[in-house]
Amino acid sequence: MRVVGEIPHPACKITIFSWNNRYLIKIENGMLEQTFKINQFDVTGESEVIQMVDEAFVQEALNRFDDMSKSLHQAVSRT
């Protein structure tokens, strides 16, 4: 797995990887992470993948992190 680059953001860590004919967009927030896989043949290159990670994309991921955190806390409270 090769690190293509990191995208700085104050609320999360965003890393772009190239692996197995795919680009991976990995977004981390605390103990949670989301990974998006993109076939390398569906984009023109690394720069297009980086452009995809705009503020709207990141905001949706951050909202999803809130939902993920709630789900985890509810699961823990049931045990």
The residue extents of the domains of the chain are 2-78
Mean pLDDT of 18-34: 97
Query: Average pLDDT over the chain, rounded to whole?
Result: 97
Mean pLDDT of 29-37: 97
pLDDT value at residue 60 = 98
pLDDT higher than 90, residue 79:
no
**Average pLDDT for 43-62:** 97
pTM: 0.92
Q: Could you report how far apart the first and last alpha carbons of the chain are, in Å?
A: 37
Task: Check pLDDT > 90 for residue 10.
Answer: yes
Using an 8 Å Cβ cutoff, are 24 and 7 in contact? no
b/e sequence 23-45, b meaning 16+ C-beta within 10 Å = bbbbbebeeeebebeeeeeeeee
